[in-house]
């Protein structure tokens, strides 16, 4: 079975600061990796995903994530955060199957101060 | 707008009762997944339905059951409710291909007293 660990439960940044949210997973086989975001009052939505190929994937709103297989990591980054990035961020993994059968981490709440 | 809808929005039940939650999938999607999200935790996979058949299940007891209808909408049924079943129940729809995105509904908040 897979598991996902998100190290930071709550991150507080000022606008224009750089962001990196950690995500590690445990599974020995081929994986698909995802970052989801939930803005206040909105549905959970996909930010970016990795299936294969270039380990650096770009998502919406200037976010990117890097898959490092040797470290079982898929960290999310953004060079300069905005107040509107305040949200909860979830990392998820599945064992090379459809996106619905995913294991999620417990989330990181990001607060960006204006 | 994701197109996935869930009903009801909120529900209060007592221990031992049964509950049915409903989900309408996004147009064209044949796969519905259900998740339980307890307070302060990430969504936990309950099960998935693909073309009216169960297509995978997480670590949940048999009192959690489901259905998918020919129009691909779905129900989640929970029997013999326990206090720990209090959570946000999320439904997500997608196609059954690894590269396809799943779209989440707003969830149903279940409180068991």
pLDDT at B113 over 60: yes
Contact A6, A23 (CB under 8 A): yes
Judged against a pLDDT cut of 60, whether residue B70 lies above it is answered with: yes
Residue B99 confidence (pLDDT) above 80:
no
| Partners of residue B48 in chain A, C-beta under 8 Å | 98, 100-101
Question: Is the Cβ–Cβ distance between B98 and A99 less than 8 Å?
Answer: yes
In contact, B11 and B109? CB cutoff 8 Å: yes
State the Cα–Cα distance between residues B83 and A13, nearest whole angstrom.
Answer: 37
Q: Which residue of B has its CA nearest to A40?
A: B106
Using the predicted structure, report yes or no on whether residue B72 has a pLDDT greater than 50: yes
pLDDT of residue B1: 46
CA distance A1 to chain B (A): 10
CB contact (8 A) between residue A101 and residue B32:
no
Does the structure show a pLDDT above 70 at B2? no
Q: What is the sign, positive or negative, of the torsion defined by CA atoms of B97, B100, B103, B109?
A: positive
pLDDT cut 70: percent of chain B above it: 98
Across B96-113, average pLDDT: 91
Judge residue A68's burial from the number of C-beta atoms within 10 Å of its C-beta, 0-12 exposed, 13-18 middle, 19 or more buried.
exposed
Which candidate in A100, A103, A104 is best for mutational testing of the B interface (most B CBs within 10 A)?
A100
Mean pLDDT for each consecutive 10-residue tract of chain A (114 residues)?
91 97 91 94 93 94 96 97 97 82 95 95
Task: Report yes or no: B45 at the A interface, CB cutoff 8 Å.
Answer: yes
Closest C-alpha to B72, from B87, B86, B55, B93: B93
Contacts by B22-27, CB closer than 8 A, 24 or more apart: B22/B73, B22/B74, B22/B75, B22/B76, B23/B73, B23/B74, B23/B75, B23/B76, B23/B91, B23/B93, B23/B105, B24/B73, B25/B72, B25/B73, B25/B74, B25/B91, B25/B93, B26/B2, B26/B93, B26/B103, B27/B3
Nearest beta carbon to residue A90 from set B42, B97, B106: B42
**For B35-68, what is each residue's pLDDT tens digit?**
999 999 999 999 999 999 999 999 999 999 999 9
Cβ pair B58, B46 in contact under 8 A: yes
């Amino acid at each position: 079975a897979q598991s996902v660990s998100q190290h930071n439960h709550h991150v507080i940044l000022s606008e224009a600061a750089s962001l990196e949210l950690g995500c590690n997973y445990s599974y020995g086989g081929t994986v698909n990796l995802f970052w989801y975001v939930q803005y206040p009052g909105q549905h959970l939505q996909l930010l970016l995903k990795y299936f294969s190929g270039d380990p650096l994937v770009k998502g919406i709103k200037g976010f990117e994530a890097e898959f490092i297989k040797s470290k079982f990591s898929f960290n999310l980054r953004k060079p300069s955060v905005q107040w509107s990035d305040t949200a909860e961020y979830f990392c998820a993994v599945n064992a090379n199957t459809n996106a619905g059968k995913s294991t999620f981490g417990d989330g990181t709440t990001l607060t960006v101060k204006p | 707008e994701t197109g996935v809808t869930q009903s009801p929005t909120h529900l209060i039940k007592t221990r031992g009762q049964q509950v049915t939650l409903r989900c309408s999938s996004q147009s064209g999607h044949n796969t519905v997944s259900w998740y339980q999200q307890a307070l302060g935790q990430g969504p936990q996979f309950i099960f998935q339905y693909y073309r009216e058949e169960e297509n995978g299940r997480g670590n949940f007891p048999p009192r959690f059951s489901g259905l998918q209808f020919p129009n691909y909408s779905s129900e989640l049924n929970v029997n013999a409710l326990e206090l720990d079943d209090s959570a946000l129940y999320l439904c997500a729809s997608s196609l059954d291909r690894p590269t396809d995105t799943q779209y989440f509904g707003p969830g149903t908040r279940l409180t068991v007293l």
